[in-house]
Amino acid sequence: MARRTGRRPGNPDTREAILGAAREAFAERGFDAASIRAIATSAGVDPALVHHYFGTKEQLFKACMNFPIDPAEVFPKLLADGPDGLGERLVRTFLAIWDSPAGVPAVALMRSALTNEWTARLMREFVATQLIRYVLPRLDMDPAEAPLRASLVATQMAGLAMIRYVLKLQPLASAPPEVVVAAIGPTVQRYVTGDIGQRE
Amino acid sequence: MARRTGRRPGNPDTREAILGAAREAFAERGFDAASIRAIATSAGVDPALVHHYFGTKEQLFKACMNFPIDPAEVFPKLLADGPDGLGERLVRTFLAIWDSPAGVPAVALMRSALTNEWTARLMREFVATQLIRYVLPRLDMDPAEAPLRASLVATQMAGLAMIRYVLKLQPLASAPPEVVVAAIGPTVQRYVTGDIGQRE
Protein backbone atom coordinates (compact mmCIF):
# COMPACT_ATOMS: atom_id res chain seq x y z
CA MET A 1 0.00 0.00 0.00
CA ALA A 2 1.41 3.33 -1.03
CA ARG A 3 2.01 5.94 1.63
CA ARG A 4 -0.41 8.87 1.91
CA THR A 5 1.09 12.27 1.15
CA GLY A 6 0.48 14.64 4.01
CA ARG A 7 -0.66 17.46 1.81
CA ARG A 8 -2.94 16.05 -0.86
CA PRO A 9 -6.24 14.31 -0.14
CA GLY A 10 -7.12 10.84 -1.34
CA ASN A 11 -5.48 7.54 -2.15
CA PRO A 12 -2.24 8.22 -4.04
CA ASP A 13 -2.81 5.26 -6.39
CA THR A 14 -6.24 6.57 -7.29
CA ARG A 15 -4.88 10.09 -7.75
CA GLU A 16 -2.15 8.82 -10.06
CA ALA A 17 -4.63 6.71 -12.03
CA ILE A 18 -6.82 9.78 -12.55
CA LEU A 19 -3.85 11.97 -13.54
CA GLY A 20 -2.62 9.32 -16.00
CA ALA A 21 -6.04 9.02 -17.61
CA ALA A 22 -6.43 12.80 -17.70
CA ARG A 23 -3.01 13.36 -19.33
CA GLU A 24 -3.88 10.84 -22.00
CA ALA A 25 -7.30 12.39 -22.59
CA PHE A 26 -6.06 15.99 -22.74
CA ALA A 27 -3.15 15.08 -25.04
CA GLU A 28 -5.30 12.95 -27.35
CA ARG A 29 -8.57 14.83 -27.46
CA GLY A 30 -7.68 18.33 -26.29
CA PHE A 31 -9.02 20.20 -23.30
CA ASP A 32 -12.52 20.87 -24.58
CA ALA A 33 -13.28 17.39 -25.90
CA ALA A 34 -11.81 15.56 -22.91
CA SER A 35 -14.61 14.88 -20.41
CA ILE A 36 -14.37 14.24 -16.70
CA ARG A 37 -16.77 11.34 -17.21
CA ALA A 38 -14.50 9.65 -19.79
CA ILE A 39 -11.40 10.32 -17.66
CA ALA A 40 -13.14 8.78 -14.64
CA THR A 41 -14.22 5.71 -16.64
CA SER A 42 -10.73 5.21 -17.99
CA ALA A 43 -9.28 5.52 -14.45
CA GLY A 44 -11.93 3.14 -13.09
CA VAL A 45 -13.42 5.64 -10.62
CA ASP A 46 -16.60 7.62 -10.16
CA PRO A 47 -16.64 11.10 -11.79
CA ALA A 48 -17.54 12.57 -8.40
CA LEU A 49 -14.19 11.34 -7.08
CA VAL A 50 -12.35 13.20 -9.84
CA HIS A 51 -14.07 16.42 -8.80
CA HIS A 52 -13.45 15.62 -5.15
CA TYR A 53 -9.70 15.16 -5.71
CA PHE A 54 -9.01 17.82 -8.30
CA GLY A 55 -11.90 20.30 -8.48
CA THR A 56 -12.80 21.57 -11.94
CA LYS A 57 -11.63 20.17 -15.26
CA GLU A 58 -9.28 23.14 -15.53
CA GLN A 59 -7.78 22.47 -12.11
CA LEU A 60 -7.30 18.86 -13.17
CA PHE A 61 -5.48 20.05 -16.30
CA LYS A 62 -3.14 22.21 -14.21
CA ALA A 63 -2.43 19.27 -11.90
CA CYS A 64 -1.56 17.17 -14.99
CA MET A 65 0.94 19.72 -16.22
CA ASN A 66 2.58 20.34 -12.86
CA PHE A 67 2.74 23.90 -14.14
CA PRO A 68 4.92 26.18 -12.00
CA ILE A 69 2.42 29.03 -11.87
CA ASP A 70 -1.31 29.45 -11.78
CA PRO A 71 -2.25 31.33 -14.96
CA ALA A 72 -5.62 32.21 -13.41
CA GLU A 73 -3.72 34.24 -10.85
CA VAL A 74 -0.81 35.61 -12.90
CA PHE A 75 -2.45 36.68 -16.17
CA PRO A 76 -5.25 38.88 -14.81
CA LYS A 77 -2.68 40.84 -12.76
CA LEU A 78 -0.39 41.22 -15.78
CA LEU A 79 -3.20 42.40 -17.97
CA ALA A 80 -5.00 44.62 -15.46
CA ASP A 81 -3.18 47.74 -16.64
CA GLY A 82 -3.97 47.16 -20.31
CA PRO A 83 -1.61 46.64 -23.22
CA ASP A 84 0.75 49.58 -22.48
CA GLY A 85 3.98 48.31 -20.95
CA LEU A 86 2.69 44.73 -21.10
CA GLY A 87 5.89 43.46 -22.74
CA GLU A 88 8.07 44.70 -19.90
CA ARG A 89 5.65 43.48 -17.23
CA LEU A 90 5.48 40.07 -18.83
CA VAL A 91 9.27 39.68 -18.99
CA ARG A 92 9.68 41.00 -15.43
CA THR A 93 7.07 38.57 -14.05
CA PHE A 94 8.54 35.70 -16.04
CA LEU A 95 12.03 36.36 -14.64
CA ALA A 96 10.67 36.63 -11.09
CA ILE A 97 9.05 33.19 -11.47
CA TRP A 98 12.07 31.50 -13.06
CA ASP A 99 14.48 33.11 -10.58
CA SER A 100 12.32 31.78 -7.71
CA PRO A 101 12.06 28.16 -6.46
CA ALA A 102 9.30 27.68 -9.08
CA GLY A 103 12.07 27.83 -11.70
CA VAL A 104 13.17 24.30 -10.86
CA PRO A 105 9.96 22.53 -11.94
CA ALA A 106 9.76 24.99 -14.83
CA VAL A 107 13.11 23.76 -16.20
CA ALA A 108 11.95 20.16 -15.74
CA LEU A 109 8.69 20.87 -17.56
CA MET A 110 10.52 22.55 -20.44
CA ARG A 111 12.94 19.63 -20.80
CA SER A 112 10.06 17.20 -20.75
CA ALA A 113 8.12 19.16 -23.38
CA LEU A 114 11.18 19.12 -25.61
CA THR A 115 11.94 15.45 -25.38
CA ASN A 116 8.51 13.91 -25.05
CA GLU A 117 5.92 14.33 -27.80
CA TRP A 118 3.15 13.64 -25.32
CA THR A 119 4.19 16.43 -22.94
CA ALA A 120 4.63 18.68 -25.98
CA ARG A 121 1.02 18.02 -26.95
CA LEU A 122 -0.21 18.74 -23.44
CA MET A 123 1.84 21.95 -23.42
CA ARG A 124 0.41 23.15 -26.75
CA GLU A 125 -3.09 22.47 -25.51
CA PHE A 126 -2.37 24.18 -22.20
CA VAL A 127 -0.96 27.31 -23.85
CA ALA A 128 -3.94 27.51 -26.19
CA THR A 129 -6.60 27.09 -23.52
CA GLN A 130 -4.97 29.48 -21.07
CA LEU A 131 -4.61 32.04 -23.80
CA ILE A 132 -8.26 31.81 -24.80
CA ARG A 133 -9.42 31.89 -21.23
CA TYR A 134 -7.25 34.55 -19.64
CA VAL A 135 -5.42 36.61 -22.21
CA LEU A 136 -7.55 37.27 -25.27
CA PRO A 137 -10.67 38.48 -23.43
CA ARG A 138 -8.55 41.07 -21.63
CA LEU A 139 -6.67 42.46 -24.61
CA ASP A 140 -8.33 44.35 -27.43
CA MET A 141 -6.63 42.19 -30.05
CA ASP A 142 -7.66 41.34 -33.58
CA PRO A 143 -8.78 37.69 -33.15
CA ALA A 144 -7.38 36.83 -36.57
CA GLU A 145 -3.90 37.96 -35.52
CA ALA A 146 -3.98 36.78 -31.91
CA PRO A 147 -2.74 33.20 -32.41
CA LEU A 148 0.30 34.30 -34.42
CA ARG A 149 1.07 37.09 -31.93
CA ALA A 150 0.78 34.61 -29.06
CA SER A 151 3.12 32.12 -30.71
CA LEU A 152 5.64 34.91 -31.39
CA VAL A 153 5.56 35.81 -27.69
CA ALA A 154 6.07 32.12 -26.96
CA THR A 155 9.23 32.03 -29.14
CA GLN A 156 10.80 34.89 -27.21
CA MET A 157 9.82 33.66 -23.76
CA ALA A 158 10.75 30.03 -24.41
CA GLY A 159 14.09 31.11 -25.88
CA LEU A 160 14.78 33.37 -22.92
CA ALA A 161 14.11 30.48 -20.54
CA MET A 162 16.26 28.15 -22.56
CA ILE A 163 19.30 30.42 -22.89
CA ARG A 164 19.18 31.94 -19.40
CA TYR A 165 18.09 28.98 -17.28
CA VAL A 166 18.90 25.80 -19.20
CA LEU A 167 21.91 26.48 -21.46
CA LYS A 168 23.05 29.30 -19.11
CA LEU A 169 24.76 31.25 -21.87
CA GLN A 170 26.65 34.26 -20.52
CA PRO A 171 26.28 37.16 -20.02
CA LEU A 172 22.51 36.67 -20.25
CA ALA A 173 22.45 33.92 -17.63
CA SER A 174 23.63 36.30 -14.92
CA ALA A 175 22.34 39.63 -16.26
CA PRO A 176 20.26 41.62 -13.74
CA PRO A 177 16.53 41.28 -14.42
CA GLU A 178 16.20 44.95 -15.39
CA VAL A 179 18.82 44.55 -18.16
CA VAL A 180 16.82 41.64 -19.56
CA VAL A 181 13.53 43.52 -19.20
CA ALA A 182 14.94 46.55 -21.05
CA ALA A 183 16.29 44.39 -23.87
CA ILE A 184 13.48 41.87 -24.32
CA GLY A 185 10.40 43.77 -23.08
CA PRO A 186 10.11 45.82 -26.30
CA THR A 187 10.23 42.63 -28.38
CA VAL A 188 7.31 41.14 -26.49
CA GLN A 189 5.44 44.44 -26.64
CA ARG A 190 5.84 44.56 -30.41
CA TYR A 191 4.63 40.96 -30.76
CA VAL A 192 1.52 41.79 -28.72
CA THR A 193 0.56 45.23 -30.02
CA GLY A 194 3.03 46.35 -32.70
CA ASP A 195 3.55 45.92 -36.42
CA ILE A 196 4.49 42.31 -37.10
CA GLY A 197 4.49 42.74 -40.85
CA GLN A 198 1.27 40.88 -41.61
CA ARG A 199 0.65 41.41 -45.27
CA GLU A 200 -2.15 38.97 -46.04
CA MET B 1 33.17 24.45 -49.41
CA ALA B 2 33.61 21.50 -47.07
CA ARG B 3 34.50 18.21 -48.70
CA ARG B 4 31.80 15.56 -48.53
CA THR B 5 32.68 11.94 -49.08
CA GLY B 6 30.16 9.13 -49.00
CA ARG B 7 32.24 7.15 -46.52
CA ARG B 8 34.26 8.53 -43.70
CA PRO B 9 37.88 7.51 -43.61
CA GLY B 10 39.48 5.47 -40.90
CA ASN B 11 38.65 2.80 -38.38
CA PRO B 12 35.23 3.59 -36.82
CA ASP B 13 36.38 2.54 -33.33
CA THR B 14 39.38 4.84 -33.50
CA ARG B 15 37.22 7.68 -34.81
CA GLU B 16 34.75 7.22 -31.97
CA ALA B 17 37.55 7.06 -29.39
CA ILE B 18 38.94 10.35 -30.70
CA LEU B 19 35.51 12.00 -30.76
CA GLY B 20 34.81 10.85 -27.20
CA ALA B 21 38.12 12.20 -25.95
CA ALA B 22 37.60 15.46 -27.86
CA ARG B 23 34.07 16.00 -26.50
CA GLU B 24 35.37 15.54 -22.98
CA ALA B 25 38.29 17.89 -23.56
CA PHE B 26 36.24 20.65 -25.21
CA ALA B 27 33.51 20.45 -22.56
CA GLU B 28 35.97 20.41 -19.65
CA ARG B 29 38.70 22.76 -20.82
CA GLY B 30 37.07 24.80 -23.55
CA PHE B 31 38.09 25.08 -27.17
CA ASP B 32 41.27 27.10 -26.70
CA ALA B 33 42.74 25.10 -23.84
CA ALA B 34 41.91 21.69 -25.31
CA SER B 35 44.91 20.46 -27.30
CA ILE B 36 45.01 17.92 -30.11
CA ARG B 37 47.98 16.36 -28.36
CA ALA B 38 46.05 15.80 -25.11
CA ILE B 39 43.01 14.52 -27.00
CA ALA B 40 45.20 12.07 -28.92
CA THR B 41 46.87 10.86 -25.72
CA SER B 42 43.52 10.36 -24.02
CA ALA B 43 42.23 8.42 -27.06
CA GLY B 44 45.46 6.37 -27.20
CA VAL B 45 46.41 7.45 -30.72
CA ASP B 46 49.06 9.56 -32.40
CA PRO B 47 48.21 13.28 -32.83
CA ALA B 48 48.90 12.90 -36.55
CA LEU B 49 46.03 10.45 -36.75
CA VAL B 50 43.64 13.01 -35.23
CA HIS B 51 44.62 15.49 -37.93
CA HIS B 52 44.39 12.79 -40.57
CA TYR B 53 40.85 11.84 -39.57
CA PHE B 54 39.42 15.25 -38.66
CA GLY B 55 41.64 18.01 -40.05
CA THR B 56 42.07 21.07 -37.84
CA LYS B 57 41.06 21.42 -34.19
CA GLU B 58 38.09 23.46 -35.33
CA GLN B 59 36.95 20.78 -37.74
CA LEU B 60 37.28 18.26 -34.93
CA PHE B 61 35.08 20.46 -32.74
CA LYS B 62 32.41 20.62 -35.47
CA ALA B 63 32.55 16.83 -35.82
CA CYS B 64 32.03 16.51 -32.04
CA MET B 65 28.95 18.69 -32.13
CA ASN B 66 27.42 17.04 -35.16
CA PHE B 67 26.38 20.59 -35.95
CA PRO B 68 23.87 20.79 -38.81
CA ILE B 69 25.64 23.65 -40.62
CA ASP B 70 29.17 24.78 -41.19
CA PRO B 71 29.45 28.23 -39.56
CA ALA B 72 32.60 28.91 -41.58
CA GLU B 73 30.44 28.72 -44.67
CA VAL B 74 27.18 30.27 -43.46
CA PHE B 75 28.30 33.27 -41.39
CA PRO B 76 30.58 35.01 -43.90
CA LYS B 77 27.75 34.91 -46.48
CA LEU B 78 25.25 36.28 -43.97
CA LEU B 79 27.57 39.07 -42.94
CA ALA B 80 28.95 39.95 -46.36
CA ASP B 81 26.37 42.71 -46.89
CA GLY B 82 27.03 44.38 -43.56
CA PRO B 83 24.67 44.95 -40.66
CA ASP B 84 21.74 46.37 -42.66
CA GLY B 85 19.02 43.78 -43.06
CA LEU B 86 21.09 41.25 -41.12
CA GLY B 87 18.16 40.34 -38.84
CA GLU B 88 15.96 39.32 -41.75
CA ARG B 89 18.79 37.47 -43.51
CA LEU B 90 19.64 35.59 -40.36
CA VAL B 91 16.05 34.48 -39.75
CA ARG B 92 15.59 33.55 -43.44
CA THR B 93 18.79 31.46 -43.49
CA PHE B 94 17.90 29.84 -40.17
CA LEU B 95 14.45 28.81 -41.46
CA ALA B 96 15.95 27.47 -44.70
CA ILE B 97 18.30 25.25 -42.68
CA TRP B 98 15.67 24.00 -40.23
CA ASP B 99 13.11 23.43 -43.00
CA SER B 100 15.71 21.32 -44.87
CA PRO B 101 16.89 17.77 -44.03
CA ALA B 102 19.50 19.41 -41.76
CA GLY B 103 16.62 20.30 -39.43
CA VAL B 104 16.43 16.71 -38.17
CA PRO B 105 19.90 16.60 -36.55
CA ALA B 106 19.30 20.19 -35.42
CA VAL B 107 16.26 19.14 -33.38
CA ALA B 108 18.26 16.23 -31.95
CA LEU B 109 21.13 18.54 -31.01
CA MET B 110 18.78 21.00 -29.34
CA ARG B 111 17.10 18.26 -27.32
CA SER B 112 20.46 16.94 -26.27
CA ALA B 113 21.72 20.38 -25.23
CA LEU B 114 18.61 20.83 -23.11
CA THR B 115 18.75 17.54 -21.29
CA ASN B 116 22.46 16.92 -21.00
CA GLU B 117 24.71 19.32 -19.10
CA TRP B 118 27.70 18.08 -21.03
CA THR B 119 26.19 18.84 -24.44
CA ALA B 120 25.05 22.19 -23.03
CA ARG B 121 28.65 23.00 -22.13
CA LEU B 122 29.90 21.99 -25.57
CA MET B 123 27.15 24.12 -27.13
CA ARG B 124 28.05 27.20 -25.05
CA GLU B 125 31.68 26.79 -26.00
CA PHE B 126 30.78 26.28 -29.65
CA VAL B 127 28.58 29.38 -29.80
CA ALA B 128 31.27 31.47 -28.14
CA THR B 129 34.12 30.34 -30.40
CA GLN B 130 32.12 30.61 -33.61
CA LEU B 131 31.01 34.07 -32.61
CA ILE B 132 34.52 35.25 -31.92
CA ARG B 133 35.86 33.69 -35.08
CA TYR B 134 33.22 34.51 -37.66
CA VAL B 135 30.82 37.13 -36.43
CA LEU B 136 32.52 39.79 -34.35
CA PRO B 137 35.37 40.52 -36.79
CA ARG B 138 32.83 41.19 -39.54
CA LEU B 139 30.48 43.47 -37.61
CA ASP B 140 31.46 46.87 -36.36
CA MET B 141 30.13 46.11 -32.88
CA ASP B 142 31.10 47.55 -29.51
CA PRO B 143 33.07 44.63 -28.02
CA ALA B 144 31.68 45.43 -24.57
CA GLU B 145 28.12 44.96 -25.82
CA ALA B 146 28.72 42.10 -28.24
CA PRO B 147 28.31 39.17 -25.82
CA LEU B 148 24.96 40.42 -24.48
CA ARG B 149 23.74 41.17 -28.02
CA ALA B 150 24.79 37.69 -29.14
CA SER B 151 23.00 36.00 -26.27
CA LEU B 152 19.85 38.04 -27.00
CA VAL B 153 19.97 36.83 -30.60
CA ALA B 154 20.39 33.32 -29.22
CA THR B 155 17.21 33.66 -27.11
CA GLN B 156 15.14 34.59 -30.15
CA MET B 157 16.62 31.99 -32.49
CA ALA B 158 16.52 29.17 -29.93
CA GLY B 159 12.93 30.03 -29.04
CA LEU B 160 11.94 30.14 -32.69
CA ALA B 161 13.42 26.66 -33.22
CA MET B 162 11.75 25.35 -30.11
CA ILE B 163 8.25 26.68 -30.83
CA ARG B 164 8.25 26.08 -34.61
CA TYR B 165 10.14 22.79 -34.88
CA VAL B 166 9.97 21.03 -31.52
CA LEU B 167 6.75 22.09 -29.77
CA LYS B 168 5.14 22.86 -33.17
CA LEU B 169 2.84 25.51 -31.76
CA GLN B 170 0.40 26.79 -34.37
CA PRO B 171 0.09 28.96 -36.36
CA LEU B 172 3.85 29.58 -36.17
CA ALA B 173 4.74 25.96 -36.93
CA SER B 174 3.23 26.17 -40.40
CA ALA B 175 3.58 29.90 -41.13
CA PRO B 176 5.31 30.67 -44.46
CA PRO B 177 8.97 31.63 -43.95
CA GLU B 178 8.35 35.21 -45.11
CA VAL B 179 5.72 35.74 -42.38
CA VAL B 180 8.23 34.58 -39.79
CA VAL B 181 11.01 36.70 -41.32
CA ALA B 182 8.80 39.81 -41.28
CA ALA B 183 7.81 39.25 -37.65
CA ILE B 184 11.10 38.10 -36.12
CA GLY B 185 13.71 39.70 -38.40
CA PRO B 186 13.30 43.15 -36.79
CA THR B 187 13.79 41.65 -33.33
CA VAL B 188 17.11 40.11 -34.33
CA GLN B 189 18.14 43.31 -36.10
CA ARG B 190 17.46 45.31 -32.95
CA TYR B 191 19.43 42.85 -30.83
CA VAL B 192 22.41 43.18 -33.20
CA THR B 193 22.44 46.90 -33.99
CA GLY B 194 19.59 48.64 -32.15
CA ASP B 195 18.95 50.17 -28.75
CA ILE B 196 18.83 47.36 -26.19
CA GLY B 197 18.48 49.68 -23.24
CA GLN B 198 22.01 49.32 -21.86
CA ARG B 199 22.29 51.89 -19.14
CA GLU B 200 25.54 50.98 -17.43
Check CB contact of B108 with chain A, cutoff 8 Å: no
Q: Domains in chain A, please, with CATH? A: 12-64 (1.10.10.60), 71-193 (1.10.357.10)
A160/B155 touch (CB, cutoff 8 Å), yes or no: yes
Which chain B residues contact residue A196 at CB under 8 A?
Answer: 182-183
pLDDT for position A187 = 97
Is the Cα dihedral B8, B13, B16, B18 positive or negative? negative
Check CB contact of B171 with chain A, cutoff 8 Å: yes
* CA-based nearest distance A10→chain B, Å: 33
Instruction: State the Cα–Cα distance between residues A76 and B157, nearest whole angstrom.
Output: 29
Check CB contact of B147 with chain A, cutoff 8 Å: yes
Instruction: State the Cα–Cα distance between residues A24 and A42, nearest whole angstrom.
Output: 10
Suggest the residue from A169, A172, A199 to mutate for an interface test with chain B (most B CBs closer than 10 A): A169
pLDDT bucket at B151, cuts 50 / 70 / 90: very high
Check CB contact of B170 with chain A, cutoff 8 Å: yes
A24-28, B46-50, B190-194: the lowest-pLDDT one: A24-28
Does B148 or B136 have the greater pLDDT score? B148
Q: Other CB atoms closer than 10 Å to residue B89's CB: what's the count?
A: 19
Q: Is the ipTM of this complex over 0.90?
A: no
Suggest the residue from B91, B169, B192 to mutate for an interface test with chain A (most A CBs closer than 10 A): B169
Chain B residue with CA closest to A127: the answer is B169
**Range A74-86 average pLDDT:** 86
Is A45's pLDDT higher than 90? yes
Work out the angle at residue B193's Cα, subtended by the Cα atoms of residues B190 and B198, and round it to the nearest 5 degrees: 80
pTM of the model: 0.80
Average pLDDT, chain B: 86
